[in-house]
C-alpha cells in the first residue's frame, strides 16, 4: 500500500507519518530540491512537482499508488493536479483505492457565530474559499469517473508543534485581538493525519469537517498558552484599531462554529479535541518548538 501526498508540507508530513504508522509506503511532492531533501529526512520518498507536468519518475510511482492526498491549494491556474489527471486518473493510477482532498471550513463563510455542518450550504466570502468549493466538486467528479471514493477534509485553523501560540509568544509576535463574539475552530495537525487514515481505511467518500470540539475566541488560546508558560499575555488590542494585513483581517469576517459530529459519529476520536488539552500536551512534553 502506497500513499502519495501532493504538496507535502506541514499537514502533508503529518499525514505521511500517520499512514507510515499503518505500514504504508509514503511518498510526497515538493517544488524544490531543498524541499525534497527535507522530505527524505522525514523518511518520505520525495518527488519534485512544479504543477505543470509529471516527471517520468513520478509517473512510474503513480502506477503503484493506492491512496492519493491532494494538499496543493488552488491558485491562479486553479488546481494544478486536477488539470493533469482529469479524465485519465484510472490510467495514471491503476491501483488507486481512495483520494483525500484537503479543503477548508472557509467554504462556509460567515454565519454570525452560529453552528455549521457538512449539510450547511457554502457561502464563502473570500475568493480562495470559493475556489475550494468548485475544486471539491471537481475531484468528486473525477473520482466518480475513475470509480474511486473521494473524501474532502474541510480543515479549520491548523496548528501543532512548531506552529502554535507558544511559538508566537516566544517570538514576541502573539497578539490578543479582540472582536466582540468572534470565535474560530482549530485543528491539531496530528489529528488531520489520523482523520485521513481513518477515512482512507474505510474507503469513505463525501465531505467531512476535521476540526476540534470547541470553537472559541482567538485571544483565549493566547491567554492559556501564556498561563502555561508562566508569563503575562500581551495586551488586548481592539480589532477595529489593530494593525493587520488585509488577509489577516479578512479571516475575522467569517464568524462560525463548525461541528465535527459527522466524523465523530463514524467512530473517529480526536486525540486533541480542544486547545487546552493540546496546549497542555505540547508544553508538558516540550514538543511545542517542533
**How far is it, in rounded angstroms, from Cα 137 to Cα 282?**
36
171-209 per-position pLDDT tens digit = 999 999 999 999 999 999 999 999 999 999 999 999 999
Average pLDDT over residues 256-279: 98
Contact (CB, 8 A) for 273 and 212: yes
Percent of the chain with pLDDT over 90: 90
Best CA proximity match to 48, nearest among 60, 66, 35, 38? 35
Alpha-helical segments (H) within the chain? 10-21, 33-41, 56-62, 80-85, 89-92, 127-146, 165-171, 189-201, 218-229, 246-251, 261-265, 275-284
Average pLDDT over residues 117-135: 78
9-64 per-position pLDDT tens digit = 999 999 999 999 999 999 999 999 999 999 999 999 999 999 999 999 999 999 99
Supply 187's cell numbers.
485543528
What are the residues whose beta carbons fall under 8 Å from the beta carbon of 271, sequence distance 6 or more?
188, 190, 191, 194
pTM for this entry: 0.96
Best CA proximity match to 254, nearest among 124, 160, 166, 133? 124
Supply 290's cell numbers.
517542533
220-231 per-position pLDDT tens digit = 999 999 999 999
Percent of the chain with pLDDT over 70: 98
Say what the pLDDT of residue 122 is: 76
- Angle formed by the axes of helices 189-201 and 10-21, to 10°? 50
Distances, alpha carbon 78 to alpha carbons 7, 52, 84, in Å:
14, 12, 11
pLDDT band at 7, cuts 50/70/90? Answer: very high
Amino acid at each position: 500500500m502506497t500513499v502519495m501526498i501532493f504538496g507535502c508540507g506541514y499537514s502533508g508530513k503529518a499525514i505521511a507519518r500517520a499512514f507510515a504508522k499503518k505500514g504504508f509506503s509514503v511518498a510526497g511532492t515538493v517544488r524544490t530540491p531543498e524541499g525534497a531533501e527535507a522530505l527524505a529526512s522525514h523518511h518520505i520518498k520525495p518527488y519534485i512537482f512544479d504543477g505543470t507536468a509529471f516527471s517520468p519518475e513520478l509517473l512510474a510511482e503513480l502506477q503503484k499508488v493506492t491512496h492519493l492526498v491532494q494538499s496543493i491549494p488552488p491558485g491562479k491556474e486553479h488546481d494544478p493536479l486536477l488539470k493533469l489527471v482529469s479524465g485519465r486518473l484510472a490510467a495514471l493510477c491503476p491501483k488507486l483505492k481512495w483520494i483525500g482532498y484537503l479543503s477548508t471550513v472557509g467554504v462556509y463563510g460567515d454565519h454570525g457565530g452560529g453552528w455549521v455542518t457538512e449539510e450547511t450550504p457554502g457561502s464563502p466570502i473570500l475568493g480562495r474559499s470559493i475556489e475550494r468549493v468548485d475544486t471539491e466538486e471537481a475531484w468528486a467528479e473525477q473520482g466518480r469517473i475513475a470509480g474511486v471514493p473521494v473524501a474532502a477534509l474541510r480543515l479549520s485553523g491548523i496548528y501543532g508543534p512548531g506552529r502554535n501560540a507558544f511559538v508566537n509568544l516566544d517570538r514576541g509576535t502573539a497578539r490578543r485581538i479582540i472582536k466582540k463574539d468572534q470565535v474560530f475552530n482549530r485543528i491539531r495537525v496530528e489529528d488531520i493525519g489520523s482523520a485521513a487514515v481513518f477515512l482512507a481505511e474505510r474507503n469513505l467518500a463525501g465531505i467531512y469537517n476535521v476540526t476540534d470540539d470547541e470553537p472559541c475566541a482567538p485571544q483565549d488560546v493566547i491567554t492559556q498558552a501564556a498561563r502555561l508558560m508562566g508569563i503575562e499575555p500581551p495586551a488586548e488590542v481592539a480589532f477595529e484599531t489593530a494593525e493587520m494585513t488585509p488577509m489577516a483581517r479578512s479571516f475575522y469576517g467569517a464568524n462560525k462554529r463548525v461541528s465535527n459530529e459527522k466524523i465523530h459519529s463514524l467512530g473517529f476520536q480526536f486525540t486533541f479535541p480542544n486547545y487546552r488539552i493540546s496546549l497542555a500536551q505540547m508544553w508538558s512534553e516540550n514538543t511545542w518548538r517542533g
